[in-house]
């Protein structure tokens, strides 16, 4: 039986990887994948707790997260394509018109 703390530790590592990737990567696609990594890190802790407390709601929540992530992925990819078409780059540092 794997202890709960191991799951949480792994979840934390995954989330931290996602945050780090989000912060240091410049490519939009990579940033997008980092977001997915963060979501899945959180999902892992949801299911770990659900298993630990024998409660179903955590698992339900994971499905919700996956549904939202799927929707987000489609919208996000569409935006990325649109950005690429207009600016011909995927480097977020060059997509910085929205500022004061």
Which residues sit at the interface with another protein, rule CB under 8 A?
19, 22-24, 26, 31, 92-93, 95-100
Nearer to another protein, 16 or 60 (CB): 16
CB 96 → another protein: shortest distance, Å? 4
Nearer to another protein, 51 or 80 (CB): 80
Q: Give me 8's structure tokens.
A: 């949480």
CB 31 → another protein: shortest distance, Å? 8
8 A C-beta contact, residue 61 and residue 38: no
**Which of 4, 86, 5, 77 lies closest to 36 in space, CA to CA?**
77
Q: Give me 75's structure tokens.
A: 């919208």
């Amino acid at each position: 039986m794997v202890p709960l703390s191991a799951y949480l530790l792994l979840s934390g590592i995954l989330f931290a990887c996602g945050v780090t990737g989000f912060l240091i990567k410049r490519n939009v696609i990579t940033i997008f994948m980092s977001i997915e990594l963060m979501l899945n890190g959180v999902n892992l802790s949801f299911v770990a707790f659900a298993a630990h407390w024998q409660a179903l709601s955590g698992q339900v929540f994971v499905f919700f997260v996956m549904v939202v992530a799927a929707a987000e992925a489609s919208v996000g990819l569409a935006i990325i394509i649109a950005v690429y078409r207009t600016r011909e780059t995927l480097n977020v540092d060059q997509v910085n018109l929205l500022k004061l």
